[in-house]
Structures are given as C-alpha cells and as structure tokens.
Amino acid sequence: MTRDEAIAQLTAHGQPYELGDLNIHGANSRVFVNAPPTLRDLFATAVSDKTFIVFEAERLSFAQTQAQAARLAHVLQTHYGVTKGDRIAISMRNFPEWILAFTAATAIGAIAVAMNALWQPDEMAYGLTNCGARVLFADQERLDRLARCAPLPGLDVIAVRATTVPAGAARFEDLLGPVPDMAMPMVDVQPDDPATIFYTSGSTGHPKGVVSSHRNIISALLSWELDAQAAVMAEGVEPPPPSDEPAALLAVPLFHVTGSHAVYLQSYRAQRKLVCMYKWDPEQAAGIIEQERITAFVAPAAMTGDLVRVARAMNRDLASLVAVGGGGAPRAPEQVRQIDASFAKAAPITGWGMTETNAIGTGIGGADYLAHAASSGRCSAVLQLKVVDPEGAAVPVGERGELLVRGTSVFAGYWNRPEVNAEVFVDGWFRTGDVATIDAEGYLYIVDRIKDLIIRGGENIGCGQVEAALLMHPDVFEAAVYAVPDERLGEEVGATVHGAATLDTEALRAFLQGHLARFEVPRYILTSADPLPRTASGKVLKRQLRDEALVTLGQGTAAPA
C-alpha cells in the first residue's frame, strides 16, 4: 500500500493512532485521540523495574526515576514554593539529574527551561532573566559561569554533582536524602498548558525562548511512532523483531529537542533504556553500543558520520543497531549510503523539524531514504506544509520558496516576544525561514535559508549574535558573519572584519571566548583593510563577502584556527 493508505488505516476510528479534529487556540488541529494528555501522564505509564537511565556505572529503573522525581517535585513545592507556570531552569551535562528535574517540573505544571549548557556567562544571565526562572539546576561548569554573572535576585540554585557550592545554594543530593518516598503531587495540568521553553538562536539579537505545550510535545512523540509503522506497512516488509531490551544512546545534549524529544521522551513509550554520554566521543560511543546493545542512535550528521568512520576502522560489534537517525542538519547523500552499508541491520532515518515544531515536520527512512537521499521526507499527519513566494502565494509544485508549517506540534509563540510572533505567524502558519521545494510525491527538499543562521553540527548560531560579540572588541569597526561549508559539521562560522591596523585575529578569538560559546567562535576570520561593502540602503553585502571568503579559503590564504 502507499504511505497515505497506511496512515489512513492506522489513524482510523478505533485504532491506537486515531486522529480527530479539535479547536486549539481558535484553529482546527488534528490530534491523537488516544494520546497521553500531558507529560505527567506519559511519565506515569513507565513505572516498571526495567532499566531506564544509565550513566557510567549508575543505573536507575523507570520506577526509581519516577519515585525520585516525585520526591523532587515535593521539594520544589514545599521548600521553594514552586507553583504551576513557574519556570525551572536546567543547565548541565546529560546527567540523570537533568531528567529528574525535567520530570518533576513538568509533572507539577511548572515550565522546564532547557538552557544551552554551552552558553557563556552573558548568555546564561540573559536566559535566566528573560524567562524569569525561580529555580536553577546547574552542575559545576555552569555554577562557575553563574559566579561570573551579576546577582540574579529571586533565583534559587540547586547544585548538581558540584565540588564547590555557592553561598545560599543547596546540594541536589541533600534535598532528596531526607524526603521519604511518596506519590507525585497532584496538580491540575492541562494538555495545552505550557510545558517547556527551549532557546533557539535567531538571525539577530538574543536567543528566543520557544514555548511548547504538553500536547505539542506528545503529538511529536506519537507522530514518530505513526510514521515508523506506516513505513513498515508501505514497504510491505516484516517489522524487525522487538528487542528484549531496546536501548538508545543519548549523545546529543538534552537542551536540544533532538536529545530531549527524539531520544529521551520517546524512550518512555518504548520502555527503552537510555544510555547517557557525558560528551561525544565516537570511539567511546562504539564501545557503549557494543556493551549496552544499543538499538537506536539519533544525532546530527556530523556525529553519525563519525560513527560510520569508527565502525569501519574498529573491530566493534555494532550489529545491535536497528536505526541510525538524523536531525539538526541535513546529511550528504553519500553518508546515507554509508550508513546502510556500514551497519548490519540499521536503517538510515532522518527528517526535517525545528525547535518550534518540537522536532517533527517530515520524516524518511530505510529504502525510501536511499531512493530519495537528498530529501527530508514527507509531512507528518498532524502538520501541514506549503511553499510560498515573497508575496505569500503558494508556488507551483517543485518550485522553490519559503517553507511554512502549521499544526498540532507547532509552538504557541516565543516567550515575551510579541513583536517577533507577529512577524513569524501568518494566518496560523509559521514562517520557517527555510527555502524549500516540495515535489509531486510530497517529498520535501531544503535548499537554502532565508534567515541569517548557521547550523554547525546541529547547533543553531545566530550571525547577528556573533557579529555583536565581534563588535565589542575595540579594534573591530565592522563585522559580517556567514556560513562556510564544512564536510563534517555541515557549516562552520566564518567572519570578515574591518578594524584597526593593530587587530590580531588570534587575540580576537581569545576575546570572543569570554562572550560566546565555543561553537559560536568563528573558525575562519578574514580581515579587510577597507570598510565592508554595503548596499545603497546601508546593509553589508554579506553574500559578496562570503563568496570572496570562499575563494580565499579555497586558495589556502586563510588558515583555520
């Protein structure tokens, strides 16, 4: 059968993935009738003694995770006075405590704020102030950065795995120690209540907080399940036998929707073991896959490419892998073929999605992906896509234009940014800023970006933010930041600057490290003795500068850092 026929059968009345119509915020939406109403309900379905979280030598079952999160929820309510709608910020590595904090916060109706753990003090202070966080969970690296911020009145800090605890902060382990086991506190949480804020870099200015509801997130989780079952039916093949212990490798940061949604939250429905990595190391990842019998690995193209190279070079048994998924940045078609050839049973999978759509949008995998290796797949059943010209009119099939999306998983708006919301929403459609085509069969192809954004290994980097940091240096007069193609990461950060004769690029990089996350610091910095070229209206001719930089870099006259 076709994919459309498979989806129609799976979503029919009485089926587990039955779809119905519901008016949400004044718009008709397609919703999963049998979905867990909230994240709280999702967590409550997973209370078995099966292993859930693995971090190095530590192991927690689903039941232990739920019990510890319930104790933490009581602490948040009774000790810190957290109530429904309060913001609870989480800033740390992929430790078990990240998951416990997220579970506790969202289960009692608070809003979990997934802060980028790579942020430097300036960015960290902005995020905490912008969201109005009541409580911050932070590990030692983040506590050290917090110490360099101006005081943030009203913020309570909980230190995680810390050797040095700031004055007035509490240790995570001390909070859980004296609290007896108890059920999760009862709070009236509704499907369309806000559940999370994830910050995403924009083309200008500060990061924007993407506010998503419980329904937004859960719709994404069930969408992936639906697409997987529809693909099996459409391809007419037997599904792979279920693993006795399905297991996912969490190598992507939890502050990304790929890590939080596609890897972590999806593990509840699948009763899947979640093995957390402190940081990405492909050789270590291969060892974990072999030892823990990992069945699913989802990561940006740069990381899946690393794993392919390690699989070919090392004598590791990676045959347990069933799926190697992508996200954050498109894969080169050759890598799609390499994944298929490098792993005994693993099918390559990818899709297009955004933080604003809760990581879903389109999906593709297996033989379909191999046949359409440059595509990001076809649209989710709970979303709609269209491609429009600059005037907002739909373009003919196969022609390029800006991609718009609407539907149940699309966020409600940016936190405290009404002026931006007015720009990005048009009659209920969200303007993605991506330039795309959709062919006659419904396959989406992302071909460019309208937004001034760099995607480096799945990390969104706002050019305006990097330019602002460059211009903070006294020897920099003008700056233009742009994407430089990179084989491994997809894109690297490049910059052309005009400044004083005394400007030293290595000193400039050192300066930037105090104001930007490491991944945001330009790998390539070119200097111009003349003012940067501009249009008649005064805008820097960034495309011209980028083209000139690519020529220069191709000639080898500018060396990477």
Q: Please report the pLDDT score of residue 129 as a whole number.
A: 97
With vertex at residue 382, the alpha carbon angle to CA 378 and CA 384, rounded to the nearest 5 degrees, is 60
Q: Which two tokens stand for residue 509?
A: 């990089």
| Overall pTM surpassing 0.95 (yes/no) | no
Spatial separation of the C-alpha atoms in residues 400 and 388, rounded to whole Å: 8
Contact 288, 278 (CB under 8 A): no
In whole angstroms, what separates CA 157 from the centre of its chain? 25
Query: Within the chain, what is the greatest distance between any pair of CA atoms?
Result: 73
Query: Residue 535's pLDDT band (boundaries 50, 70, 90)?
Result: low
Write out pLDDT tens, residues 176-215. Answer: 887 777 889 999 999 999 999 999 875 556 899 999 999 9
In the numeric block, the tokens 């490798």 are attached to: 249
Averaged pLDDT, 549-556: 78
Helices (H), 381-476: 418-424, 463-470
Q: Please report the pLDDT score of residue 560 as a whole number.
A: 40
Spatial separation of the C-alpha atoms in residues 220 and 243, rounded to whole Å: 23
489 three-state secondary structure: coil
Spatial separation of the C-alpha atoms in residues 196 and 190, rounded to whole Å: 14
Averaged pLDDT, 283-296: 94
Contact 494, 482 (CB under 8 A): yes
Contact 177, 150 (CB under 8 A): no
Residue type for 165, please? V
Please provide the DSSP assignment of 144-162 as one string. Answer: HHHTTSPP-TT-EEEEES-
Q: Please report the pLDDT score of residue 538 as a whole number.
A: 59
Spatial separation of the C-alpha atoms in residues 99 and 253, rounded to whole Å: 12
Write out pLDDT tens, residues 461-496. Answer: 888 889 888 988 989 988 999 999 998 898 999 999
Helices (H), 236-300: 257, 266-270, 282-292
Backbone φ, ψ for residue 257 (5° rounding): -65, -25
CATH fold of 62-200: Rossmann fold (3.40.50)
Spatial separation of the C-alpha atoms in residues 210 and 198, rounded to whole Å: 5
Write out pLDDT tens, residues 87-106. Answer: 999 999 999 999 999 999 99
Backbone φ, ψ for residue 503 (5° rounding): -65, 125
Q: Please report the pLDDT score of residue 558 as a whole number.
A: 42
Q: Which two tokens stand for residue 311?
A: 């699989």
Q: Which of 297, 455, 55, 118 is nearest to 310 (CA)?
A: 297
Supply the DSSP symbol for 540: B
pLDDT at 240 over 80: no
Spatial separation of the C-alpha atoms in residues 28 and 162, rounded to whole Å: 48
Q: How many CB atoms lie within 10 A of CB 15?
A: 13
Domain layout of the chain by residue ranges = 3-34+212-449, 62-200, 453-555
Query: Residue 451's pLDDT band (boundaries 50, 70, 90)?
Result: confident
> How many alpha carbons lie under 13 Å from residue 393 in its C-beta half-sphere?
3
Instruction: Give every CB contact of residue 495 below 8 A, 6+ residues apart in sequence.
Output: 466, 467, 470, 479, 480, 481, 482, 522, 524, 525, 526
Query: Residue 555's pLDDT band (boundaries 50, 70, 90)?
Result: very low
Write out pLDDT tens, residues 6-23. Answer: 999 999 999 999 999 999
Q: Which of 494, 490, 470, 492 is nearest to 481 (CA)?
A: 494
Write out pLDDT tens, residues 48-62. Answer: 999 999 999 999 999
Write out pLDDT tens, residues 388-408. Answer: 999 999 999 999 999 999 999
Spatial separation of the C-alpha atoms in residues 253 and 90, rounded to whole Å: 12
pLDDT at 547 over 70: yes
Domains 3-34+212-449 and 62-200 share a fold: yes
What's the CATH number for 453-555?
3.30.300.30
The matching CATH number, chosen from 3.40.630.30, 3.40.50.12780, 2.40.50.100, 3.30.365.10, for 3-34+212-449 is 3.40.50.12780
SS3 string, 462-514, reads EHHHHHHHHCCCCCEEEEEEEEEEECCCEEEEEEEEEECCCCCHHHHHHHHCC
Spatial separation of the C-alpha atoms in residues 421 and 425, rounded to whole Å: 6
